[in-house]
Amino acid sequence: MLKSTNICRQTLKRLPVVSINPNNGGISNLKNAKSIVRSYSTANLSSQVQNVELKSREQAVVDKTTTISTSINFGDKSSGKSDYSKNIKLSDNKSIVLVKIGGGVIEDNMSALIQSLNFLKKIGLYPIVVHGGGPQMNAELTAAGVEPEYVEGLRVTRPQVLAIAQRVFMRENLKIVEALEASGTKARPITQGVFQATPLDPSTYGFVGNVTKILTDGLASCIGSDYIPVISSLAMTEHGQVLNINADVAALELAKAIRPLKILFINTTAGMKDGDGKVMRHIVLDQQYDNLMKQPWVKHGTKLKLKEFKNCLDNLPLSTSITITSPELLQKELFTKSGSGTTVEKGISILTEESQLDFGRLSKSFGLRPAELKSLVEREKLKIIVNSIYTSAIVLRSLPSSPSTYVVDRFVVDSGSIEDESADSVFQAALAKYQTLVWKADSATTNAQTTAWFRKIADGFTKESGFDVYWNNIPLQDVARPIAMCLAHRSPITAAAETAASQAAANLIQAKKDKYRIGLLGARGFTGGHLVRLIGNNPSLELTLAASSTNYGKPVTTEFPHLKSDLLFSQVTAENIDKYTEDSGIDGWFMALPDQISKPYVEGIDRLAKQPVLVDLSADHRFNNSWTYGNPETNRANIIKSKRIANPGCYATGMYLTLYPLRKAGLLDGEPSCFGISGYSGAGSKPSEKNDLNRLRDNILPYKLVKHTHELEVSHQLSQPIYFMPHVGQFFQGITLTISIRLTRPLTKEEVVQLYTKQYQNEPLVKIDVDGIPEVRANANKHTLTIGGFAVNGNHLVVVTTLDNLLKGAATQALQNMNLCLGIEELEGIKKEL
C-alpha cells in the first residue's frame, strides 16, 4: 500500500519547466533551487485493471503531428566554436540588435525603416545596421551595359563591378544616415574598416571576400558616442585591396563576433517564402535544414541565406534566433505572441546518454545538488532523456521483476513545450530507446493540458484508485501486472527531494534577513521592464516571481530583451496567488495588471494570515479609502504605516503634485484646466491607434476628453474638481502638462515660486524650474518631475509640469512606495540614477 505521495514546489533560475511527477500526478512550478514539500493521501491500490481505454497503433500514429518548435529562448552557449578568437564586447550597458537592411527597403520604404530603427532605440535596444544594395547595383550595372552574374548566390565582382559597388554602397549608406539624422537620431556612415577578408576564389568570383576578422574600433566609437553605425558590406585585405561581401554574409559574420541580443533581417517581403510564395513562419534548422536544401525552389540567394543562417546559429548561443520581417511589421514581431515574418532558429537535440548530461542544470529541476542527483542516478540505475536546452526531460526506472518494462519516474516539461509538441521529441526518444513504458498521474491534481498530452502519447490508459495509469507497447492482456507495479512504485527522486526540502526551507527563512522577496504580477510591457530593472538595482530587494500568463515558463528577457536576468515567468492566478506568496516567502507584490482585474488577486492575498505589501499600479484602488494613496511627497507618513498602496496614475502624478500646494493653501478658485500630452508608450506595448507611428506622424491625438480616469482620480484625492484633456504625441515617453488655474486672490510670480519651493524643498524627485519652461525631452528617462513655466496675471496662474510617464509616473513611484512600506531607504534602487 502506498500511504502518501508528494508534490514538490521548487524555484529555479535557468530552467523554465514544470516537473510532472507521475508517481502522484503533481505538477511543480520550479522557481528556484529551494523546495517546499506538501503531502497528499491516496486510496488503497488495487491490482485490477478497470475501465481500460486503448488506442490503436494506427490512431496513435495519426494523432502525432509533425513537431515544429517555437522560438527557443533558453539555454547556454552553443558548443560550436566561433571563427573568431574571442567574443567582442562593444558595450557594458547597451543591448545590441544587429539589423540587416535589404536594398529594396532603402529604395521603397525608407520612412518606415527609419521609424523602426528609432523605435528600437527608444525602447532601450541599440541597432547596428548592415545594409545591402542589390536592386541599386543591378540598375547601375544595367545602365553601364554590364550583365549581373551570380554563382551560388554570390555576385561575381569584376573590377568594373567593384567600382560601381563602392559608389552605390556609399550613396545608399548616406541615404540611411541622412534620413536618421533628419529624424533626430545620430548616425555615422562606416563604408569600410569593419571587415577584413581574403579573396574567396578570384578565378570564379573576382573581387569577393571571405571574412577573416572583425574590426570593432569604429563600432565602439559610435556606440560610446550614442550614434547608430551604418555599415556597408565592403571588406579589405591586409594590404588594402577592397573586396565585395554579400550583405547577408557580412551581417551574419558580424553577428558571430559581437553576439547581439537579436538579429533582424529587414526586407520588402516580410519574411522568407516557400515554393508556393507563402511566408514561412518558423524554420528550425536542426529539423528542417537538410530537407529544405533539397527543395527545387531553394536556390541562389535563398540557398545562400539558409547556409549562412545555419553557420551563424551554430556559432551562437542556442537562445539566439534570426527574425526576417518588414519595417512596418517590426513592432508586431517584437510585441505580439504570434509575431510576424520568419523566425529562424537552430533547434534542439536530444541527449540520451548519461555521459552527455549536465547534472548541474538537471539538479535544478528536482531540488537536489548536482552530486546528489548524479549519485542517485547511478545508485538507482535511473535513465534520463533530456533536450539540449533542458526544458523537457523524462526520468525512467526499470521495474525490478520486469527489467524490460520502464516506469516513468518523472516528466519534466513546460507548458509551451506541450503546446508546440517539442516535449513529444523527448518522449519519442525515450520510447524508441526503452520501448515499454508505464506511468501514473493523480486524477485530481493533474491539469487538463497534461492529461490530454498523456492520452495523446500513450497507447492506452486506465483509471484506478484515484490515478490515471498510462502505457506504451504493452499488450492489453498483459497490462495488469505492470500497472500494479507502477501504482506501487515510490519515486527515489521524490524521497531525496523531501530530505533536501527542509534544509532549503530553512535557507529560505535565513535569506529573508538579508533581502525582501518581491513578486511582480503582470510582468510585461514598458512599465514592467522598468520595475524589473529598478528592483534589480535595489540591494535590499530580490525579484523572486515575475508572473505573466502569456509568457509562462519563458525567461523575463523574452519580454524585456534589454534586461540582464535569469528569472523565468511564472503563472500566478487569483486561485493560487496565496500559495505562491506563502511558498515563495513573498514580502511584497507589485500588481501591474490592467484596470478592473486586481480584485480576485487581492481576495486571494486576503486568505493569508501574514499579509505582504501590495502596491497596485492600476486605478482599481485609487478611490478606495481603505488603501493608501501612494504619493510619497505628500503622504509619506501614511504610506510607511500601510500595507496596501494605490500607486497614482502617470498624468495624475503630475497634476496632483502641481495642484497640491495651491489646494493646501486654499488658493484654488473653481476647476483648474489641465491640458496634457503623453508619449505613445503611455498607450502600452500592445499595438493600437494610440501608438501607431504612422497615425502619430506630424500629429497629436486627443482622447477621452471628459471623465478620464486621471481627472476623476485627482478630483477625488484633492476633494476638488478639475478638468483634464489628454492627448498622445509622436514622442516615445514623457508627459507635459499645461495647467490653467484661477486663484482666490492675485499673486506675484515670486509668491508662487516661494509656495512651490517651500512645499518641495526637501523632495529630491521634484524639481522647481524658477525661470524656464520644462520640456519633455529634458525630463525623459529621468526619475524626477519638474514644475515650472510659471506665468501669472493677477489671479490667473499657468504652470507647466513634465515627468516621465514610465518612471515617476509609474515604476519609480511604485518602488518608492514599496521601499517605504518595507522600511527601506525610500530612494534605494533609484538614487544611483539621479
Task: Enumerate the active-site residues.
Answer: 650
Write the single-letter amino acid at 671.
E
Write the single-letter amino acid at 400.
P
d(CA 261, CA 70): 18
Contact between 93 and 486 (Cβ < 8 Å):
no
What are the distances in angstroms from CA 570 to CA 10, 17, 122, 519? 12, 10, 28, 10
Contact between 605 and 582 (Cβ < 8 Å):
no
Contact between 737 and 724 (Cβ < 8 Å):
no
Vertex 470: Cα angle to 468 and 471 (nearest 5)? 160
Which residue's entry shows cell 510670480?
749
d(CA 485, CA 2): 11
Contact between 273 and 259 (Cβ < 8 Å):
no
d(CA 180, CA 195): 23
Contact between 463 and 442 (Cβ < 8 Å):
no
Which residues lie below 8 Å from residue 687, measured CB to CB, with a gap of 6+?
A: 331, 332, 335, 336
Closest CA to 820 of 610, 641, 656: 641
β-pair partners for 322: 263, 344
H-helix segments, 559-690: 577-584, 599-606, 632-640, 650-664
d(CA 579, CA 601): 12
Segment holding 342, helix H or strand E: strand 342-345
DSSP 8-state symbol, 807: I
Contact between 816 and 830 (Cβ < 8 Å):
yes
Contact between 476 and 57 (Cβ < 8 Å):
no
CB burial class (10 A; 0-12, 13-18, 19+) of residue 217? exposed
Vertex 766: Cα angle to 762 and 772 (nearest 5)? 120
What does R_g of the chain's alpha carbons equal in angstroms?
Answer: 31
d(CA 792, CA 252): 60
Q: What is the DSSP string of 415-470?
A: HHHHHTSHHHHHHHHHHHHH-EEEEEEETTTS-HHHHHHHHHH-SEEEEETTEEEE
Collapse the DSSP code of 20 into the 3-class scheme (helix H, G, I; strand E, B; otherwise coil) and give the result.
strand
Q: Determine if residue 634 is left, alpha or beta; phi over 0 gives left, psi from -120 to 50 gives alpha, anything else beta.
A: alpha
Give the three cell numbers for residue 749.
510670480
d(CA 285, CA 296): 18
Which 3-state string (H, E, C) describes 92-143?
CCCEEEEEEECHHHHHHCHHHHHHHHHHHHHCCEEEEEEECCHHHHHHHHHH
Phi, psi of 812 (to 5 degrees): -60, -50
What are the distances in angstroms from CA 802 to CA 314, 476, 626, 736, 778? 48, 74, 30, 5, 9
